[in-house]
Amino acid sequence: MKKNTIKFTINKKGIAKGARQIVSPNFDARPTSSIDMVVIHNISLPPNIYAGSGVVELFTNKLNPDEHPYYATIHTAKVSSHFFIRRDGELIQFVSCLQRAWHAGASNWQGRERCNDFSVGIELEGSDFEPFEQAQYQTLNALLNSLKATYPIQHIVGHSDIAPGRKTDPGPFFAWDKIE
């Protein structure tokens, strides 16, 4: 992997300078000020289709159930993530890092329940069925470096690690060895 020249700065309000901001209503206050984990996910809407507006619409409660059969099954879900990294490496932020995004659901890490309480969620546009793009790893590493410089991050895990048996993402094609 070539040297990463992308940089993000996270301000005191938990906003990443350099990310496109799209506000999700799906968040609430963290019950703790401790942010020590990052959870990596994958998502594509419709499933296995990239570059559309489905993820943004889901996270902003604007998903049209008539647009795709799968949307009819999830359009009422109230979910979000702090960040979304598109296939081309674009970074979108939906929720301040200081707030609790609703990305992990029922979860446990080393005996700690409700991982949303103490984690930042990062969604990668992708699926369990094909590799992620180099641009995504570059953006992800730049974002992880910013998060580690701002918060006492101790763990970087996959959704499958905190919800085994329920979730499989970021999936078998996520290259953990590309994380710096």
**Percent of the chain at pLDDT above 90?**
94
Of 123, 125, 130, 180, the catalytic one is 123
Question: Does residue 2 surpass a pLDDT of 90?
Answer: no
Give per-residue pLDDT as tens, 150-160: 999 999 999 99
Question: Does residue 1 surpass a pLDDT of 80?
Answer: no
Average pLDDT over the chain, rounded to whole? 96
HSE, CB side, 13 Å, CA atoms: give it for residue 91. Answer: 27
Residue 83 · residue 91 · CB < 8 Å:
yes
Whole-prediction pTM value? 0.96
Span 18-38, mean pLDDT?
95
* Residue 123 annotated to the active site: yes
Residue 41 · residue 80 · CB < 8 Å:
no
Write down the pLDDT at residue 6.
87
Span 71-90, mean pLDDT?
98
**DSSP labels, the chain:** -PPP----EE-TTS-EETSEE---S-EEE-S-S---EEEEEEE-SSTT--SSSHHHHHHTT---TTS-TTHHHHTT-----SEEE-TT--EEE-S-TTEEES-S-S-EETTEE-GGGTEEEEEEE--TTSPPPHHHHHHHHHHHHHHHHHS---EEEEHHHHSTTT--TT-TT--GGG--
Question: Does residue 14 surpass a pLDDT of 80?
Answer: yes
Judged by phi (left if over 0) then psi (alpha if -120 to 50, else beta), residue 106 lies in beta
Give per-residue pLDDT as tens, 109-155: 999 999 999 999 999 999 999 999 999 999 999 999 999 999 999 99
Structural domains of the chain, with CATH: 9-178 (3.40.80.10)
